[in-house]
Amino acid sequence: MSPAVKASPAKATPARSRSGSSKVPASRTAPTLRHERTFKAQGVRYLAGVDEVGRGALAGPVSVGIAVVDLERQKPLAGVRDSKLLAPAERERLDPLVRRWSVAAAVGHASAQEIDAIGIIAALRLAGTRAWQEVLAAGVTPDLVLLDGNHNWLSPADQLSLFDPPAVEVSCDAPVHTKIKADMQCLSVAAASVIAKVERDRTMRELHAEYPGFGWDINKGYATASHRDALRTAGPTPYHRVSWRLLGGDLLDADEVDGADLDADDVDGADLDAADLEAANLDGGLEDGGPARSERSVPD
């Protein structure tokens, strides 16, 4: 159960860019329920905003958040933004508010071992399905899903061969609508991004206590130079995605993460425009060591 927090409206604290500026362009600061409400004409009342985090990390789980809104009664929640545009403390402040504001909210995870076993796309589906099952267990059945990106990785895939991952018994059977930049424009998806990011970051801090040499409390499992140096020295842990190119791909400089007190997707989210974020395949993107599997070519 989330701790009780007084839900007083407050302005979000935007993340700083590499230049040190805290200004976030107005076009990316205020997601609304405007797009969600267009589905009321189709008879949709309960809409589930869905977003993922951790897709491009080298270590730790991939996590999927769901925030369900009631299109008949829901009012906007002040301060919520795409999690990449919020400082860590602001995300922590908003997390319990989002959970109380939502008709239902849940976060599901798929472990590094599961990512290695079934690939990142199937792991996203598994994490999303686990969150979906939590929503159903709370007594809420969404009429429609609004998913960030242009690829529906949430709906069950047809099992075409014996080598495909087995179907999950209770999976998302609601219609899925995808929208590029939904995490920046749609309040339900931005809310989902916040709770997913907060929960995954907490997990990475817990894993840091077990393996402190990799700096997961700061880099959250992403590919900083210090993280890769630790990999070269100590080798991978059970929480690394060993099927990925752990020592290849682009890096974030340590000062971009530590100096600004931002993690990997904060830095990218604050410093790139919306088109760049999509092109970089974020969350993940520039810091993505990349799967050594064919899923790398599949769009978000």
CA 236: distance to chain centroid?
23
What pLDDT does residue 221 have? 96
Place of tokens 């869905």: 50
What does each C-alpha distance from 27 to 24, 37, 80, 162, 184 come to in angstroms? 8, 20, 14, 47, 9
Domain chopping of the chain, boundaries: 28-292
Cβ–Cβ < 8 Å for 193, 183: yes
What pLDDT does residue 162 have? 52
Question: Distance between CA 193 and CA 51 in Å, rounded?
Answer: 5
| Average pLDDT per 10 consecutive residues for the chain, totaling 300 residues | 34 42 52 98 98 96 99 96 95 98 98 97 97 98 97 79 57 95 97 98 98 97 95 97 86 43 35 31 39 36
What does each C-alpha distance from 273 to 12, 51, 70, 84, 89 come to in angstroms? 18, 19, 30, 12, 23
What pLDDT does residue 158 have? 59
Instruction: Write the CB contacts of 125 (distance below 8 Å, at least 6 apart in sequence).
Output: 153, 154, 155, 156, 157, 171
What pLDDT does residue 44 have? 98
Q: What is the CA radius of gyration of the chain?
A: 18
Question: Distance between CA 49 and CA 62 in Å, rounded?
Answer: 17
Instruction: Write the CB contacts of 299 (distance below 8 Å, at least 6 apart in sequence).
Output: 149, 150, 151, 281
Q: Which residues pair with 105 in a beta bridge?
A: 67
Tokens describing residue 117:
């076993």
Q: Which residues pair with 161 in a beta bridge?
A: none
Nearest to 186 by CA among 12, 50, 33: 33
CATH code, 28-292? 3.30.420.10
What pLDDT does residue 252 have? 55
Per-residue DSSP letter, 291: B
Put residue 44 in one of left, alpha, beta given phi > 0 → left and psi -120 to 50 → alpha. Answer: beta
What pLDDT does residue 286 have? 31
